Structure 1
Amino acid sequence: MEGKLKKSKGPNTRSVWWCYLVAVLLILIYLLPIYIMLNLSFRTLQDLGSKLSLPAAWNLQNYADVLKSGDLWLGFKNSIILVVETVTLEIVLAALAAYGLARSSGRLSESIRNLNMGIMMIPSVALLVGTYGLMVKFHMTNTLYGLALLSAAGGIPGTMFMYVNFVVSIPTALDEAAAIDGAGVIRTFTQIIMPQLKAVTVTRIIMSATGCWNNYLMPMYLLQDKSKFTIILVIKSAFNRTNGVGNLPKACATCALGLLPVILLYLFLQKYIIEGQIDSSVK
């Protein structure tokens, strides 16, 4: 061969500097509201400078006042109760339903899967009037368990969809071997199938817990009793007390502390989210 062959360039070998530029711009856009919130939370009431400039004098008293307030801890307690109830119901019921659908065949099973996907496409806002009327009829307003049932019902279709894709990939020979050894359906599911669904289970727990913690729409309509307020409603009340103007630094401090748990959850467990989403797409 005369000379050296020219190195061929494929579609993935071109310069993609503009992709990094776009990524940096998107990150800055996402971080801008967080920066403004943190910036305002360290200010005094008299500091009326630009929201983008640093505080004239750093003030930690806002955080001290919020931590001393009982509203923040009450919101944390109610939100934790709501998250635990919602995630438990959603994961258990969705996993059992997905196992049954994945191991079934026929038109009925296929119809249920299609119906489940159709339910996922319906926005929750479109069902707001009917849902609120149903909750009033069953006396579930101003109750955390009622809100947990509603939140779990809204998350079950998406969770079940992900579980079905995973369970289908598990060989049915494992079920048959367990049945020969005398294991029933529930024991087979809990001891054979469920341990293999760790990635998707952790992913859905994190996504469901985060969505439930940050849920604003339904708690706003269903929880009028201040003793039942979740952390998001506590943050809303902090801004409403002064119409978002009078004590804005303290309200921003309340918002920063209220969102801290879910931010830490993402930072420490993001590898499980990525692993679960990649495995789900491969399945």
Structure 2
Amino acid sequence: MSICIKEYKNEYKDIISELISDNSFVREDILRCLDRCPECGILVEEGEKVVGVGVYTGVRKKTSMTLYVKPSKRKEGIGTALLKALEEKMQNVGVEEVVCDFKVSEVEKSFTYKNGYKHWFKSNYMIYTGGEITTGNYDIVNYEDKYYGECQKILSESFHKMRLSVGLESTPSIPSEEEKQDYKENAENIFVLRDNSKIIAFVKLDGDEIDLVAVEENHQGKGLGKAIVSYAVNKVLSKGCTKVPLWVVEGNTAKYLYDKLGFVRERTHEFVCKSIK
């Protein structure tokens, strides 16, 4: 039976949710991406049944994507057709490099490598399921737009150092109006730790997930990472959530902090990338 590639529309949301019945992690990830970027999604239909879905996460030179094919329909070329259609859609809007990730598996590795993707790094998905954590007496406040310069510098230096420490290529990031605006719009989910009005640590939430954590280089090793992460955990728990997830790159020494705080590794993903220019 022939397949048909179609643009995603919001009315397909329930169908997609039912389609991905075997993997709650992937289902939540894809539905979250489709909610944020519905215009970036595509479907594969065989007859009148949806058998696959793919989505990328916005129009940037480097963006991420994810896809899913119904288990009984795998190894029939549907995944490859879906991937090629998604890459073409991204090329048409100016995307130059694609990143995707999958739970470490020889099957997914073989599929992505066969389609031109190359290993980038591995990262651990960790979950905290305990109660509130004591944060200590620190000056932690909500982010304000005027803090962007200080925060961007801390993040740039911290992540540049981390990437080099785990063997990844890296150059320090530079300030951008797009990022500055994003932080401004999400100020209620960003928190900074100050010492005499100087910002020395930063944390950003993405929903119930801890998205970014950084401590100014000269203040590392003083318990500030523990304080700002604990504060973020408590913020998520105060929303009624029962678990707090985060990602940590394999080899990043920050994992020791997360271990001590009670985070537990749930899964390890391989991240791969491909140029589609």
TM-score by length of 1: 0.23
More helix by share: 1
More strand by share: 2
Q: State the structure with bigger RCO (CA 8 A, min sep 6), 1 or 2.
A: 1
TM-score by length of 2: 0.24
